[in-house]
Amino acid sequence: MNALLHLTHDCNLRCPYCFTGKKFDREMTIETAKKTADFIIEYAKEHGQRAVFSFFGGEPMMAWPVMKELVLYAEQAAKAAGVVALFRMNTNGMLIKEDHLAFFEEHDLIFILSIDGHEEMHDSERVTEGGVGSHAVLAKKLPMFLEHNPGLMASVVITPHNVRHTAKGIAYLWDQGFRFQIIKPDVTQAWTREAIAELDRQYTAVAEDYLTRTRAGHELYLNLLDDKWINHAKGAEGLSIRCDVGSSQISISPAGNLYPCVRWVKEDEEGVPNLGNVFTGFNPERLAEIRAASGAPKQPCGDCSYNDGTCANECACEHYSATGRIDTPAPALCEHEQVIVPIATRVGNTLWRERNPVFMQKLYPTLPKLIQIRTDRNDHADDGANP
């Protein structure tokens, strides 16, 4: 079970695109944290799964004492139950210091850093309560973070407001030493024709830059391109990030209430429908409803040629936030995919034609001999088969 834990409703930033609700000072108590750990471990044991504790926003580092105690408790409890416990975190990184990194290392806690590229791009959205950009503070910490974890993943949000900075922002992160980037467009906002046209220009530039860097021998991961190729080469099961609300993924609020996903938690007030709580367990009817809705075919997708795992239309809670329905993707998501899929296909075909060693090793590590035979036989031929 991947449990996304909201240890607090508070955050030291006020990003306008934040989807986790109002920010206020309410933390998970130690009692609830321990009960939460027991609940996750028991569920994981019963279903033969690993217990993944993923700390999520508000900013989890604002509840550092609770997180620390929960990790120490869960480690012991999981060991006693014979369950593998893993710890993950999504953080804005502002409060992380060197001694935290030592703890993370000791307990194998891996974090994903929310950073929207270079200063101009990042500070146009990621600001403090007083409206001050947070890039300067974060930039100073990047060398320390990357030294601690060279595989650190950057999570970047693109909006109609910051889209014009995208190519520069992503290039900045490669130049800082990031090798993994997840780009998420905010599809809950309205994207005008002009914004979509700008997105196309920016993604084309991002793809060109990626091509140059790959040709120079750098092995990078950019979900916008790599996920499309992984899906093509290995099928949907090759992708590690797939939405599975209510089955192997659940969100738990500071009060211990259970929700299908992070976007449902919000202020976690009385009366907001949830799936139960860690003290009394799941509400079976609500759980069955969510699972059925999540597994239902996507409404407008039908026989769209991208509806074969190519389109990133799997996030049920993103659909819910944008359209109010679990099974109906946002129009902006659809437009985004129609921009990025042809670009990913073009770049993938180029790297395939060139038999680029980084690309081949990444996508087809077990095929070098077959590729060689095929290349020998077709020397100058190119069937453009992949991806």
Binding site for ligand SF4 (CB under 6 A): 11, 13-15, 18, 20, 57-59, 92, 114, 298, 300-301, 304, 306-307, 311, 313, 329, 333-334, 337-338
Taking the complex as a whole, the smallest distance from the CB of residue 98 to ligand SF4 amounts, in Å, to 21
Q: Which pair of tokens denotes residue 186?
A: 């905010």
Task: Give me the residues paired with residue 157 across strands.
Answer: 184
Reference 250, options 203, 224, 283; nearest CA is 283
Q: How far apart (Å, rounded) are the C-alpha atoms in residues 357 and 374?
A: 15
Q: Which is nearer to ligand SF4, 134 or 274 (CB)?
A: 134
Q: Which is nearer to ligand SF4, 58 or 276 (CB)?
A: 58
Q: Which is nearer to ligand SF4, 92 or 277 (CB)?
A: 92
Q: How far apart (Å, rounded) are the C-alpha atoms in residues 224 and 203?
A: 9
Taking the complex as a whole, the smallest distance from the CB of residue 311 to ligand SF4 amounts, in Å, to 3
State the CB neighbour count (10 A cutoff) for residue 128. 14
Catalogue the long-range contacts made by 343-348 (C-beta closer than 8 Å, 24 or more residues apart). 343/203, 343/204, 343/207, 343/225, 344/207, 344/224, 344/225, 344/228, 344/229, 344/387, 345/228, 345/387, 346/207, 347/207, 347/210, 347/211, 347/225, 348/225, 348/228, 348/229, 348/232, 348/386, 348/387
Q: Which is nearer to ligand SF4, 255 or 287 (CB)?
A: 255
CB 17 within 8 Å of CB 125: yes
Q: How far apart (Å, rounded) are the C-alpha atoms in residues 214 and 86?
A: 32
Taking the complex as a whole, the smallest distance from the CB of residue 340 to ligand SF4 amounts, in Å, to 10
Residue in the block written with tokens 């040709």:
215
Q: Which pair of tokens denotes residue 74?
A: 């869960």
Q: Which pair of tokens denotes residue 165?
A: 């900075």
Q: Cβ neighbours of residue 338 under 8 Å, at least 6 residues apart?
A: 306
Taking the complex as a whole, the smallest distance from the CB of residue 334 to ligand SF4 amounts, in Å, to 3
Taking the complex as a whole, the smallest distance from the CB of residue 378 to ligand SF4 amounts, in Å, to 33
Taking the complex as a whole, the smallest distance from the CB of residue 232 to ligand SF4 amounts, in Å, to 15
Q: Which is nearer to ligand SF4, 73 or 306 (CB)?
A: 306
State the pairing for strand pair 276-277/258-259.
unpaired
Taking the complex as a whole, the smallest distance from the CB of residue 307 to ligand SF4 amounts, in Å, to 4
Residue in the block written with tokens 């709580």:
277
Taking the complex as a whole, the smallest distance from the CB of residue 266 to ligand SF4 amounts, in Å, to 12
Q: Which is nearer to ligand SF4, 77 or 312 (CB)?
A: 312
Q: Which is nearer to ligand SF4, 5 or 11 (CB)?
A: 11
Amino acid making up residue 261: C
State the pairing for strand pair 2-6/85-91.
unpaired
For residue 30, the surrounding DSSP H or E stretch is: helix 30-46
Q: Which is nearer to ligand SF4, 11 or 363 (CB)?
A: 11
Taking the complex as a whole, the smallest distance from the CB of residue 38 to ligand SF4 amounts, in Å, to 26
Q: Which is nearer to ligand SF4, 109 or 113 (CB)?
A: 113
